[in-house]
Amino acid sequence: MDEVVLSAGDTAWVLASSALVLLMTPGLAFFYGGMVRAKSALNMMMMSIITIGVVSILWVIYGFKIAFGYEADSPWYGSLSTSGLGDAVSELANNGGVYPIPLLAFAAFQLMFAIITPALISGAIADRAKFFSWAIFVALWVTVVYFPVAHWVFAFGNKVGDTVTGAGYLASLGVQDFAGGTAVHINAGAAGLALAIVLGKRIGWQKSPMRPHSLPLVLLGASLLWFGWFGFNAGSALGASGIAALAFVNTQVATAGAVIGWITTERLRDGHPTTLGAASGAVAGLVAITPACAFVAPWAAAVIGLVAGIGCALAVGLKYKLGYDDSLDVVGVHLVGGIIGSLAIGFFGTSKILGLDGLFYGGGTELLGKQSIGVALVMGYSFVVTLIIGFLIEQTIGFRVKSESELTGVDQAEHAESAYELAGVLKGGR
């Protein structure tokens, strides 16, 4: 076998993509922060920022090995050991084959996914979570949910010669998820639903108005997410390749389609296309194209985006009918968008790119069936385990703030800060 030589171009792209994906988490902080009321804007943003702290540390201690180790040769987890990244400076990444990039570049890139996934969940419990309990939740959740699920989906095993050890269950089964429709979005969406159930509804939900306090912030956040998502999707090619370029183009057109899909739905249903709808549509499109971005043609990406924009715009109303306060629609956008995108591969996947045909290319239902297994397994596992972790925290250190703190605002109660000087009395003047 020829020895693989490190590629400067591939390495540069993966490192740049890692930085792009990291930027998505502060972007998410703005997206979510603008959507809550002024009295809890800082807490909402801090829930994202703390995941960067907690998950980065856990990743270098043991997280990377649970997700991408192969020593245990298990389809369910990598290995229970320290990550040992300090010894890997001259190693190349091996994930179902050797890539011409450093293992550390791969580890950095995958870390950013492990950070944003729990951050996505925070939108389901806006305005009412204890900050310390949230930090504990993040540590537990990535350890028993994200790291293992990332192994199921993203770990193609260590390949030496023809022998592969430690490939993940869904990866070996042939479930296709290019950049995280199941591992990231369905995972976060199902967990968001579980936590919304554990923490319960906010005081005054559906009675008093809980309007977004700053739509410009929401739009800024959505824009940063869109920008960073090129790293998320095109970076998942793990190289500066044609597949990366395809993922890049598909990311753009699907998002465009979803913006149009969402605000058209609003125009027809409510009478006005809204800013919040455009920002939400963009995110719904990004979510839906994530698993499919390297497996479908650009025209199909546009259709997937359009369907996701319409589907998610309709799905966000479900919480009012079913009575759970998923405050910022983690379920309606990430779970529903993730399902739409993951199943879409079963319809639009084409052998020209993927080596397998979906239903619309005459490939029958085999691929769609596999995709459904991936969706169901990740959704079920994440929902049940998150419920357990959530209840454990609620019963021990408590997960929800006192009702008094909730009414005053979690910013003051949890952080002793206010996002804005609204009164103006102390602003000075002659």
Partner 1 sequence: MKLITAIIKPGKFDEVKSALRAAGVKGMTVSEVSGVGRQGGHVEVYRGAEYPIDLISKVKIEILAENRDVDSVINTIVKVASTGSIGDGKVWATPVDSVVRVRTGEKGEAAI
> Which residue lies nearer to partner 1 by CB, 182 or 327?
327
Instruction: Indicate the DSSP class of residue 413.
Output: I
DSSP letter assigned to residue 351: T
**Which of 132/205 has CB closer to partner 1?**
205
Rounded CA-CA distance 274/281 in Å is: 10
- Cβ proximity to partner 1, 131 vs 205, nearer residue: 205
Which of 94, 110, 251, 280 is close enough to bind partner 1 by CB under 8 A? 280
- Which residue in the set 105, 276, 307, 308 belongs to the binding site for partner 1 (CB under 8 A)? 276
Shortest distance, position 299 Cβ to partner 1, whole Å = 29
The binder of partner 1 chosen from 76, 227, 299, 320 (CB under 8 A): 320
Pick the stretch among 147-155, 252-260, 274-282, 355-363 that binds partner 1 (CB under 8 A): 274-282
The minimum distance between CB 349 and partner 1, in angstroms, equals 31
Binding test (CB under 8 A) with partner 1, winner from 177, 326, 329, 411: 329
**Of residues 97, 269, 322, 396, which one binds partner 1 by CB under 8 A?**
269
| Residue at token pair 């950070």 | 115
Size of the site for partner 1 (CB under 8 A): 18
Among positions 195, 225, 313, 336, the unique one binding partner 1 when judged by CB under 8 A: 313
Calculate helix-pair angle for 366-396, 336-348, nearest 10 degrees: 160
Q: Based on the shown chain and the rule CB under 8 A, indicate whether residue 127 belongs to the binding site for partner 1.
A: no
Residue 331 beta carbon to partner 1: minimum distance, rounded to whole angstroms? 12
In angstroms, the CA 151 to CA 96 distance is 12
**Quick one: which of 54, 202, 50, 218 has its CA closest to 122?**
50
Q: CA of 210: how far to CAs of 34, 37, 38, 126, in Å?
A: 12, 7, 10, 11
d(CA 240, CA 242): 7
Alpha-carbon distances of 7 from 2, 145, 299, rounded to whole Å: 14, 33, 32
Residue 212 in the binding site for partner 1 (CB under 8 A): yes
Using CB atoms within 10 A of its CB, is residue 294 exposed (0-12), middle (13-18) or buried (19+)? Answer: buried
CB of 37 to partner 1, least distance (A): 12
Local structure of 158: helix, strand or coil:
strand
User: With binding defined as CB under 8 A, does residue 267 bind partner 1?
Assistant: no
The residue among 218 and 293 lying less far from partner 1, judged by its C-beta, is 218
CA angle 254, 257, 263 (to 5 degrees): 140
Task: By CB under 8 A, name the one of 3, 272, 395, 416 that touches partner 1.
Answer: 272
Q: Is 217 in the site for partner 1 (CB under 8 A)?
A: no
Look at strands 163-165 and 158-160 and give their pairing: antiparallel
Work out whether 211 is an interface residue with partner 1 (CB under 8 A): yes
The stretch among 87-95, 235-243, 253-261, 275-283 that binds partner 1 (CB under 8 A) is 275-283
CB 261 within 8 A of CB 276: no
Nearer CB in complex with partner 1: 205/391: 205
Measured in Å, how far apart are the chain's first and last C-alpha atoms?
A: 80
SS3 88: coil
CB of 313 to partner 1, least distance (A): 7
d(CA 239, CA 98) in angstroms, rounded, equals: 12
Q: Is 277 in the site for partner 1 (CB under 8 A)?
A: yes
Q: How far apart are CA 340 and CA 312, in angstroms?
A: 9
Out of 223, 241, 274, 405, the residue judged to bind partner 1 by CB under 8 A: 274
Residue partners of 270: CB distance under 8 A and separation at least 6:
none
Q: Compute the least distance from the CB of residue 255 to partner 1, in Å.
A: 18
Taking the C-alpha atoms of residue 98 and residue 427, their distance in angstroms, rounded to an integer, is 60
Residue 270 sits in the site that holds partner 1 (CB under 8 A)? yes
Q: How far apart are CA 92 and CA 97, in angstroms?
A: 10
Region binding partner 1 by CB under 8 A among candidate stretches 9-17, 209-217, 302-310, 344-352? 209-217
Nearest to 110 by CA among 147, 76, 77: 147
Smallest distance, partner 1 to C-beta of residue 178, A: 28
Q: Judged by CB, which is closer to partner 1: 83, or 280?
A: 280
Give the Cα separation of 29 and 380 in Å (integer). 27
Interaction between residue 216 and partner 1 (CB under 8 A): no
Nearer to partner 1, 81 or 206 (CB): 206
Which parts of this chain interact with partner 1 (CB under 8 A)?
209, 211-212, 266, 269-272, 274, 276-277, 280, 313, 316-317, 320, 329, 332
